[in-house]
Amino acid sequence: MNSTKAFTIIEMIFVIVIIGVLALVAIPRLSATYDDARISLVLKKVGTLINDLGTYYTTKDFYSPNLEDMTYISDVNYSQPWDSSTEKGIITLYTPDNEKHLEPCVHFFIENKDGNLTVFSASSPIGDICKSLHQITTYKSLLGTKLIGGNRVKF
């Protein structure tokens, strides 16, 4: 009598079906968690950029045409180039759209005349990250003009 211990084909099919069902339940939840983490990271970048720009202006009494002087965040660029005659520009934070291309999501208007920083949303975002960011209450509270410099600051 030759008895071997092995799984039958029926047992193997049941195991594969159970693994498939678990995968169908788990993958969407993991994907949503991943998107939430990316949105949280972008929100952190917005707050950090506001802080970096405000700190730079407060310590130097001017904004720089060179972004690397003011912040270490890499997903930003001057979308309206720095104008040396008026000393103002618009910095844009980019996020990936649904096809993994970078799209403008948040704008930061800076001007040396009064030192104020105005934060505003890009219009008509395409990507889920930017669309979701624009719906978050914490993000909405960061929008608007920040009074950083000028004659309102008293020491």
Q: What is the pLDDT along the chain (155 residues), one digit of tens a residue?
A: 566 777 788 888 988 988 888 888 777 776 667 778 889 999 999 999 999 999 999 898 899 999 999 999 888 899 888 888 889 999 999 988 878 888 999 999 999 888 889 999 999 888 889 999 999 999 999 999 988 865 554 44
The residue among 117, 119, 107, 118 whose CA lies nearest residue 149 is 117
Q: Which helix (H) or strand (E) holds 45?
A: helix 9-60
Using CA of residue 87, residue 72, residue 33, residue 43, what is the dihedral sign? negative
pLDDT given at position 82: 87
Per-residue pLDDT at 5? 77
Report pTM. Answer: 0.76
